[in-house]
């Protein structure tokens, strides 16, 4: 499956309003003690600007300078986590993001970034735990779909029925995100579920699966051919003794 659904996720959309960072159910009753957007140190503002310019090393340096002046600034910690994550420093990035969320529990962007980093390391279960505390959004659904897909991949060889359920959940997440924006995810989830069902001996269900997913896969040119091939393979598999499958 293409990693584009999570590895290149825009962790901090430029058009996102500040209020979207704090879902209603997670808003603290008191005002946060960390500096607000208007109270940023020059170093934090510079770090954020460098991050938007994709100058990861320079953004990291500026964020570290900002934290010397404002060690309790959640935004500076989050910016540092973004910069480190983009450079592949996973553990350091996760530590910075955890601190950002500790300082600002309503920081949904920090939580999304944390989940994204877990998924990039093919460690989906911690990502799912992080996302359980997030309000529904397109980014949350895309990441949840990617995490469920990875869990399905880990189970398909040993527990195909469980894998099929995980792939089905991934498909539901991708559908709720926006089918027009996640066709690769929808196709990957469909293929995984179909193969898992076939491995479990559910040939009729596997063959019929495309008819239930056709709407999600409308933009995938290869989907009908794959479905036809799968149908033929399931037909051949039915002729093989169960012990030999």
Whole-angstrom distance, CA of residue 104 vs CA of residue 91: 20
Under a CB-based contact definition with an 8 Å cutoff, are residues 108 and 91 in contact?
Answer: no
Locate 79 and state its tokens: 């910016």
Domains (range + CATH), the chain: 35-110 (1.25.40.10), 140-244 (1.25.40)
Average pLDDT of every residue of the chain: 83
Whole-angstrom distance, CA of residue 241 vs CA of residue 245: 7
Under a CB-based contact definition with an 8 Å cutoff, are residues 66 and 41 in contact?
Answer: yes
Q: Which range (19-23, 95-99, 241-245) has the least confidence?
A: 19-23
- Residue 184's pLDDT band, with cuts at 50, 70 and 90, is confident
pTM summary value: 0.78
Whole-angstrom distance, CA of residue 234 vs CA of residue 232: 5
- Write the pLDDT tens digit of every residue in 36-65: 455 678 889 999 999 989 999 999 999 999
b/e 201-225 (16+ beta carbons within 10 angstroms → b)? bbbebbbebbeebeebbeebeebee
30 or 156: which leads in pLDDT:
156
């Amino acid at each position: 499956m293409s990693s584009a659904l999570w590895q290149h996720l825009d962790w901090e959309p430029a058009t996102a309003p500040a209020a979207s960072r704090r879902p209603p159910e997670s808003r603290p009753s008191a005002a946060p003690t960390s500096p607000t957007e208007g109270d940023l140190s020059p170093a934090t503002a510079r770090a954020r600007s460098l991050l938007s310019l994709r100058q990861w090393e320079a953004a990291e340096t500026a964020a570290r300078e900002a934290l010397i002046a404002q060690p309790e600034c959640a935004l500076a910690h989050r910016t540092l986590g973004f910069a480190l994550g983009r450079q592949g420093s996973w553990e350091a990035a996760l530590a910075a993001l955890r601190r950002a969320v500790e300082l600002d529990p309503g920081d949904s962007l920090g939580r999304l970034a944390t989940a994204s980093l877990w998924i990039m390391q093919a460690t989906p279960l911690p990502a799912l735990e992080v996302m359980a505390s997030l309000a529904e959004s397109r980014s949350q659904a895309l990441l949840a779909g990617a995490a469920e897909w990875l869990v399905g991949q880990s189970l398909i060889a040993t527990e195909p029925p469980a894998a099929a359920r995980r792939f089905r959940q991934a498909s539901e997440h991708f559908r709720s995100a926006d089918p027009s924006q996640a066709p690769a995810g929808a196709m990957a989830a469909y293929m995984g579920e179909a193969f898992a069902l076939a491995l479990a001996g559910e040939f009729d269900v596997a063959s019929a699966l495309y008819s239930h997913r056709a709407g999600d896969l409308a933009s995938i040119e290869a989907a009908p051919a794959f479905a036809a091939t799968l149908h033929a393979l399931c037909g051949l598999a039915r002729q093989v003794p169960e012990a030999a499958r």
